[in-house]
């Protein structure tokens, strides 16, 4: 006798189990997602609290004020103890502490003024040294331009040397030359005079001038025994 197996029953049973397993998987996934969201929310809350603490900042001025007050109290206590050991009364101690602080402040002010004066002297010395370097460089450049020694001081005084340094902060001879040429351009009277004769003169110039003189001027020619043309 053949038995008929209801395949539909197995199929429905299989589908039911699959649906149940899928439902359990979805529940687990939702549970994990909810836990992850809760963890992210906690991290964001902690980050917000930390950010609020950082944005609050630290009042360094208040800290310094507290340190100053503590130092002043400690100083007063030390001074009071010392003056008590010296046998001073309360009024005398107060006066002595006030005098000590006044002298201390005066000494600090004197030191500050001395440091300021020293810095001013150093700055003045540096400025004078730089001015000397500028004038030395300008004199060297002026010689190449043919500027006369008599007019050189006026040219140096009128020149604008505020832009003579290069990008490295060094004195540029080209910039110095430009400044000097600008003065000669603005004041043509300071330009060097051009000479008619150029080059070096060789021999006795006066005697050559006498030989080539066409104006009839008498020129003394030295007499020599071997010159038979001389009387």
pLDDT digits 0-9 by tens, 40-62: 655 666 555 555 555 468 999 98
Q: How far apart are CA 141 and CA 184, in angstroms?
A: 13
Domain membership flag for residue 3: no
Domain membership flag for residue 61: no
Q: Are residues 106 and 158 in the same domain?
A: no
User: According to the per-residue pLDDT averaged within each range, which of 1-10, 44-53, 80-89, 212-221 is highest?
Assistant: 80-89
For residue 217, what are the CA distances in angstroms to 212, 221, 231?
A: 10, 12, 19
Q: Are residues 137 and 164 in the same domain?
A: yes
Residues with Cβ within 8 Å of residue 191, at least 6 apart in sequence: 184
Better-predicted residue by pLDDT, 181 or 201: 181
Domain membership flag for residue 95: yes
Domain membership flag for residue 222: no
Q: Which domain holds residue 115?
A: 69-123
Ramachandran region, residue 88 (left: φ > 0; alpha: ψ -120 to 50; beta: rest): beta
Q: Are residues 134 and 186 in the same domain?
A: yes
Q: What secondary structure does DSSP assign to 166-200, as a single string?
A: -TTSPBPHHHHHHHHHHHHHH-GGGSPPPPSS-S-
Mean pLDDT of the chain: 74
Res. 19 pLDDT band, cuts 50 70 90: very low
Q: Are residues 144 and 172 in the same domain?
A: yes
Q: Are residues 142 and 88 in the same domain?
A: no
How many structural domains is the chain composed of? 2
Domain membership flag for residue 80: yes
Q: Is the pTM of this model over 0.85?
A: no
171 — phi, psi (to 5°)?
-70, 125
Q: How far apart are CA 176 and CA 161, in angstroms?
A: 7
Q: Are residues 118 and 172 in the same domain?
A: no
Q: Is the pLDDT of residue 128 over 90?
A: yes
Better-predicted residue by pLDDT, 219 or 200: 219
Domain membership flag for residue 31: no
Enter the tokens of residue 97. 């502490």
Q: Are residues 183 and 133 in the same domain?
A: yes
Closest by Cα among 171, 176, 186, 178 to 139:
176
C-beta of residue 230 within 8 angstroms of C-beta of residue 223? yes
Note the pLDDT of residue 193.
73
Share of the chain above pLDDT 70, in %: 59
Q: Are residues 109 and 134 in the same domain?
A: no
Q: Are residues 105 and 148 in the same domain?
A: no
């Amino acid at each position: 006798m053949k038995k008929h197996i209801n395949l539909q029953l197995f199929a429905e049973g299989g589908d039911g189990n699959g649906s149940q397993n899928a439902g359990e998987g979805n529940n687990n996934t939702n549970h994990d997602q909810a836990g992850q969201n809760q963890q992210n929310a906690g991290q964001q809350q902690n980050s917000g609290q930390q950010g609020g603490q950082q944005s609050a900042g630290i009042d360094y001025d208040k800290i310094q004020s507290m340190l100053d007050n503590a130092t002043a109290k400690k100083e007063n206590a030390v001074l009071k103890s010392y003056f008590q050991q010296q046998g001073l009364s309360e009024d005398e101690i107060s006066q002595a502490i006030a005098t000590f602080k006044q002298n201390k402040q005066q000494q600090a002010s004197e030191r500050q003024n001395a440091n300021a004066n020293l810095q001013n002297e150093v700055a003045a010395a540096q400025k004078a040294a730089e001015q000397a370097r500028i004038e030395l460089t300008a004199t060297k450049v002026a010689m190449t331009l043919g500027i006369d020694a008599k007019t050189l001081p006026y040219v140096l005084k009128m020149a604008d040397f505020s832009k003579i340094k290069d990008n490295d902060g060094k004195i540029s001879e080209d910039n110095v030359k430009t400044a000097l040429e600008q003065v000669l351009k603005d004041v043509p009277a300071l330009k060097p005079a051009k000479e008619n004769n150029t080059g070096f003169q060789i021999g006795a110039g006066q005697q050559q001038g006498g030989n080539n003189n066409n104006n009839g001027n008498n020129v003394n020619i030295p007499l020599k025994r071997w010159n038979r043309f001389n009387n």
